Chains A and B, each alone.
Chain A
Amino acid sequence: AQKVTQAQTEISVVEKEDVTLDCVYETRDTTYYLFWYKQPPSGELVFLIRRNSFDEQNEISGRYSWNFQKSTSSFNFTITASQVVDSAVYFCALSERGGNQFYFGTGTSLTVIP
């Protein structure tokens, strides 16, 4: 079974629209960590955010915000007023305190149309 599911394979939005990227995870550990990474067309993987399982506070960083809900095992990522530079593949990832690796989702390819 997939530990991290990103059901949206591709999303297209028009510039300035808001967009939410979904991430659903599965774990039996009570302590775990969630991450989002961005992979722009240039190919590098850029770390965006980490959340601990015991910290459900939502986080906002500029136009980016993250909604962590343990009740639904989701860690969704919203981009407000999207820009062309937001076009990238976004990966959600999970690691567990009792584990030794990261589990990556299959990624969501976001295209922002000018």
Chain B
Amino acid sequence: DAGVIQSPRHEVTEMGQEVTLRCKPISGHDYLFWYRQTMMRGLELLIYFNNNVPIDDSGMPEDRFSAKMPNASFSTLKIQPSEPRDSAVYFCASSRTVNNSPLHFGNGTRLTVT
């Protein structure tokens, strides 16, 4: 199994630009999660999907953030327009269930907004 695959690994962009992060979950995992990690706030859950349907997006910081999961093997997290405070490492994770299965994380996307 290839594990959770995220792209790009690094993204540097200017304030105001649109950023799209991509994720391919592990096949057979029904749940997909987007997390953000910063020094100040640690790991924060942004949104999670079950069978491609968004279940809880209460962690999405504001309307500039949006996430989609058009099919079981692909999800995107979009920030438009980006701001310097969005700089963080964004992780995608997948699991078989919502609570008793471990999360399997991708390698993360390090986003820098200048």
A-side residues, CB < 8 A to B, are 33, 35, 37, 43-47, 50, 52, 91, 95-97, 99-102, 104, 106-107
Which A residues lie within 8 Å of B43 (CB)? 91, 104
1/0 contact string of B82-114 vs chain A (CB within 8 Å): 000000010101000011111111111010000
Contact across chains for A102 and B45 when beta carbons are under 8 A apart: yes
Q: Is the interface of B mostly helix, strand, loop or mixed?
A: strand
The answer to whether residues A102 and B103 also contact, given A44-B108, A107-B42 and a CB cut-off of 8 A, is yes
Contact across chains for B91 and A47 when beta carbons are under 8 A apart: no
Contact across chains for A106 and B42 when beta carbons are under 8 A apart: yes
Contact across chains for B104 and A101 when beta carbons are under 8 A apart: no
**Bound complex: CA A37 to CA B93 (Å):** 13
Which B residues lie within 8 Å of A100 (CB)? 48, 55-56, 98-99
- Distance between B36 CB and nearest chain A CB, rounded to angstroms: 12
Q: Count the B residues whose beta carbon is within 8 Å of the partner chain — how many? A: 21
The answer to whether residues A43 and B100 also contact, given A91-B43, A104-B43 and a CB cut-off of 8 A, is no
Which B residues lie within 8 Å of A91 (CB)? 43
Q: What is the chain B residue whose CB lies nearest that of A95?
A: B99
